[in-house]
Structures are given as C-alpha cells and as structure tokens.
C-alpha cells in the first residue's frame, strides 16, 4: 500500500521537474536532480556529564521528524574532553521519501521563519558535491518542541543530500523548493 505523496513531493513531480529539465537543458527527465535524503545530527558534548541529555535529545528529534533516531557513540577516547570510547555523544536520523519532504516543508515554512533576525541561508554552504548543510542553533524553532520542557538548548546540523554532484544544480533545485537563501 503506497503512502500518499506530501504537498512538496507532488509539487516536485508536477512542476519543479519540468522547470529544471528546461532550465538545465537536460535531454531526459531522469537526469533532473532530486532530493535523496536529509540527515539530521545533534551533537551533545555536555552528555559526558549528564546521560539523560541523550535520551531527551532522542525524544525531541523523534517528535520533530516522526521517526526514531539512533544514538551515536564516541569512536575514540579523548582525555581533554573527558570522552571515553563507546560513550553516547549524540543522536542522528536519516529521512527519506515522504518523511524527508514533510520535514523539508516544515523546515522552510515554519521553522526557519521563527529564527530571530533571520536574513536567509548562506548560499555558500554547499560541500562541492551538491549537498547543502545548515546549522540551527536552537531546536525550539520547531513548533512541536515545548520551551518549558527543554532543559538545555541544543543545536542541530541538517544536511540535504541531492542526486547531483554540481553545486549550481543543487542550488537551483533547493531554490525551486523555495529555500530562503540570502541574496548573493
């Protein structure tokens, strides 16, 4: 049983694909860049002293995305940061298909406008392989998170992975999704 497509996914299939094909002068619709996944990571350096922060971050990320995140563990010991190998130091999640489009819609239309003094995203944050990464300083920009229940302000890294290896094509794709980039 196929799940119904979200608004952003329908818009991509009906409008954005055709526009990108024409603008990029591509011969086939299969060559049009598309979103592959969105990876969200919350690093918790303060979890060294308080293990409950990891479970709190896991619950908050599950509320935001609708999917259960995994806990990441330290690969190496580092005495200067009081980190031992195998300690929980963060949570991450990979979103694909409808949950990915749903999260991107929520990020663009609800979360980013709630950032104080928001002037747009940096258009230079592409990694050279068509992937865009943005950092969010406060997790409370998402409407599902209740400010009263947050003990420690956490930030997150959001990486949007596209099918293209060209930053310009990826920029154009995200621009079509109405990603609020700052003027160059």
> How does pLDDT run across 17-73, given as a tens digit for each residue?
888 888 888 888 888 888 899 999 988 876 566 777 888 888 888 888 888 998 888
**Residue 182 within any structural domain of the chain:** no
**Residue 79 within any structural domain of the chain:** yes
CB contact set of 120 (below 8 Å; sequence gap of 6+):
180, 181, 182, 183
**Residue 120 within any structural domain of the chain:** yes
Domain span at 71:
7-176
SS3 label, residue 67: coil
**Residue 1 within any structural domain of the chain:** no
SS3 label, residue 66: coil
CATH number, domain containing residue 121: 3.30.1440.10
Distance of CA 29 to the CA centre of its chain: 26
Helical axes 97-106 vs 52-65, angle rounded to 10°: 90
Residues in the chain: 184
Domain count along the chain = 1
Q: What is the pLDDT of residues 91-139, one digit of tens each?
A: 999 999 888 988 888 888 888 888 888 888 888 888 888 899 988 888 8
| CB distance 173 to 20 below 8 Å | yes
Instruction: Please tell me the distance from the alpha carbon of residue 148 to that of residue 172, in angstroms, as a whole number.
Output: 39
Instruction: Using alpha carbons, select from 108, 122, 128, 111 the residue that is nearest to residue 170.
Output: 128
């Amino acid at each position: 049983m196929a799940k119904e497509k979200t608004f952003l996914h329908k818009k991509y299939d009906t409008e954005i694909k055709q526009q990108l094909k024409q603008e990029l002068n591509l011969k086939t619709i299969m060559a049009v860049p598309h979103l592959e996944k969105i990876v969200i990571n919350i690093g918790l350096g303060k979890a060294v002293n308080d293990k409950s922060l990891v479970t709190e971050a896991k619950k908050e990320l599950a509320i935001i995305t609708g999917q259960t995140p995994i806990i990441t563990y330290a690969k190496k010991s580092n005495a200067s940061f009081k980190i031992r190998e195998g300690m929980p130091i963060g949570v991450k999640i990979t979103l694909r298909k409808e949950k990915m489009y749903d999260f991107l819609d929520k990020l663009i239309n609800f979360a980013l406008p709630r950032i104080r003094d928001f002037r747009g995203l940096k258009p230079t944050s592409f990694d050279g392989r068509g992937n865009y990464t943005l950092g969010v300083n406060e997790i409370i920009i998402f409407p599902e998170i209740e400010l009263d229940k947050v003990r420690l302000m956490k930030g997150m890294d959001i990486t949007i992975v596209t099918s293209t290896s060209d930053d310009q094509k990826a920029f154009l794709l995200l621009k079509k999704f109405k990603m609020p980039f700052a003027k160059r």
